[in-house]
Amino acid sequence: MKGNGMLGEAEYYHDKVVMRLVQFSMLWAVLAMAVGLWLAAEFVWPTLDFGQFWLSFGRIRPVHTNGIIFGFGVSALMGTAFYSVQRTSHVPLFMPKLAWFCCYAWQVVVLLGGLSLLAGWTSTKEYAELEWPFDIAITVVWVAFAIVFFGTIATRRIRPIYISNWFYGALIIVIAMLHIVNNLEVPVTIDKSYSLYAGAQDAIVEWWYGHNAVGFLLTGGFLGMLYYFLPKHAGQPIWSYRLSVVSFWAFTYSYIWAGPHHLHYSAIPEWVQSLAMVMSLVLLAPSWATMVNGIMTVSKAWPKLKSDPALKFIVLSLAFYGLATFEGPMLAIRSVNAVSHFTDWTIGHVHSGALGWNAMVTYGTFYYLVPRLVGRELYSTRLANIHFVLALAGTLLYILAMWAAGISQGLLWLSVNTLGELSFSFREVMSSMKPYYALRLFAGAIFWSGTLMMTYNLWRTIKGANVLKVLIPPVPARWRINKSVAQPVGVEAQA
């Protein structure tokens, strides 16, 4: 097919690897959320570990967090990055076999890493618990991811680099930097290493990593997803492209300083704590600029919201993004942190972001993406609408339960009698938390059932179908990098 006077041979986007990553992402969502449910149940019925070490809270909690962040989250980010970078560059993936390596090697790392955590291998660093063999494996896969992504950008035919690619690029570069620096360690045995850092320095490096993993993976990476799929789905360009560029750089400059707000009232220098607090408050500006940009983009497509569950998910994710990015800076204020730190308020905050923002924007994206990858309608729009209600209800109940529990804990622990003694013991406070924990378990079950429903819906959508082969369209001459190469247009079903 060489119509329209175009030159060159037919080239197709590599979408099979995208579909496989979406499937893995949904698999990890179901599994890792199930582990989260088990954890929530252990708070209500503490004997649910049955005296087994591998079922204890300390072992399965990192399995839950690693499964969600690295299994569900990174698989979704890799898949959507591979999908959108091709389409915004008008070239096929650079080194597609390496993309397949990324896809499968990442799943092996997450699976074996999870098993190692159950076996008790841990570096004890939050969100970086995996021991040194996995740290090396993650680095290898991440470098491969970088080669595929930046190789595609480098060979692009379209001159401007679209804003979503800036966010995905920041995700790849910053996470590589954080992962390598935070995991500098001396291996002792196959399952044990010791960090190069000690004491307060170790804490600062760990939370520089921990908070920026939230920033550049769970925020920046998913903003890359949002900036491509929201305009695509709404059928409208981003409301202000200039605002998106400014907020990207403001986000990047300010986020990297915010980590030490996790260490308020600790042994680290006070100016580091103050700087982290100020930078956390500064972050409100780029975060809300992005939210306003997203809401204004979708404001021209309100009628679609009535009938399109995928767009509903994406718009709701923006609302939770706004909520979480307001709450985060507030919790970074030291006087607020005095109440919130070490309480379930933090858990509520994390889940308003993880369920309300990360999961919702991913669900909306997958509901949009999967039917297009196979050229079919979604199996059931009704099921997707029910899922939307379950996801909203589950998220709201979860964060309300944890807010109530966390604020109660913080105030009760700070309460002293006239002699200056603690009014309540730790045990007394914790034993009063059972109703909140039961509500959290119920909320998690609602959210998880919606995720199961979505997995079934997507599975029925793709059952028996092949991934479409999409021909790469031409680039307008004004914006083409290599003017001698252009591609024909069209979509063909794969043989």
Partner 1 sequence: MALFIFAGDLLVMLFMTVLVVWVSMRSSKELLDFSANIPLIEEDEHG
Residues that bind partner 1 (CB under 8 A): 84, 87-88, 90, 158, 160, 162-164, 228, 231-232, 235-238, 241-242, 245-246, 249-250, 253-254, 257, 269-271, 274-275, 278-279, 282, 470, 473-474, 476, 478-479, 489-491
DSSP codes joined into one string, 198-241? -HHHHHHHHHHHHHHHIIIIIIIIHHHHHHHHHHHHHTS--S-H
Strand, helix or coil at 189?
Answer: strand
Taking a C-beta distance cutoff of 8 angstroms, is the pair 417, 423 a contact? yes
How far is 312 from 296, CA to CA, in rounded Å? 15
Cβ of residue 163: shortest distance to partner 1, in angstroms?
A: 7
Q: Which is nearer to partner 1, 160 or 435 (CB)?
A: 160
Q: Which is nearer to partner 1, 66 or 86 (CB)?
A: 86
CB-wise, 84 or 461, nearer to partner 1? 84
How do strand 469-470 and strand 192-195 relate by DSSP bridges? unpaired
Between 109 and 486, CB nearer to partner 1: 486
The neighbour count for residue 493, using CB atoms within 10 Å, is 11
Q: Which is nearer to partner 1, 23 or 152 (CB)?
A: 152
Least distance to partner 1 from the beta carbon of 93, Å?
15
Which residues have CB under 8 Å from 357's CB, separation 6+? 218, 222, 317, 320, 321, 324
Please report how close the Cβ of residue 3 comes to partner 1 at its closest, in angstroms: 12
* CB of 475 vs partner 1, minimal distance in Å: 8
CA distance 167 to 164: 5
Q: Given the structure tokens 């021209």, which residue do they identify?
A: 300
Residues 6+ apart with CB under 8 A from 282: 250, 254
Nearer to partner 1, 155 or 346 (CB): 155
- Pick the closer one to partner 1 by CB: 5 or 476: 476
Q: How far is the CB of 281 from partner 1 (least distance, A)?
A: 12
Give dist(CA 129, CA 69) in Å, integer: 12
Q: From the CB of residue 44, how many other CB atoms can be counted at a distance below 10 Å?
A: 16
Closest contact distance (angstroms) between CB of 354 and partner 1 is 26
Contact (CB, 8 A) for 1 and 471? yes
Determine the 3-state secondary structure of 46 from DSSP: helix
Q: How far is the CB of 326 from partner 1 (least distance, A)?
A: 20
Closer residue to partner 1, CB minimum distance, 435 or 490? 490
**Amino acid, single-letter form, for residue 384:** A
Select 158 or 196, whichever has its Cβ closest to partner 1. Answer: 158
Phi, psi of 457 (to 5 degrees): -60, -45
Half-sphere exposure of 215 (CA within 13 A, CB side): 30
CB of 128 to partner 1, least distance (A): 25
Closest CA to 238 of 250, 222, 227: 227
User: Which of residues 152 and 254 has its CB atom nearest to partner 1 in the complex?
Assistant: 254
Residues of the chain by 3-state class (helix, strand, coil), percent to 5: 75, 5, 25
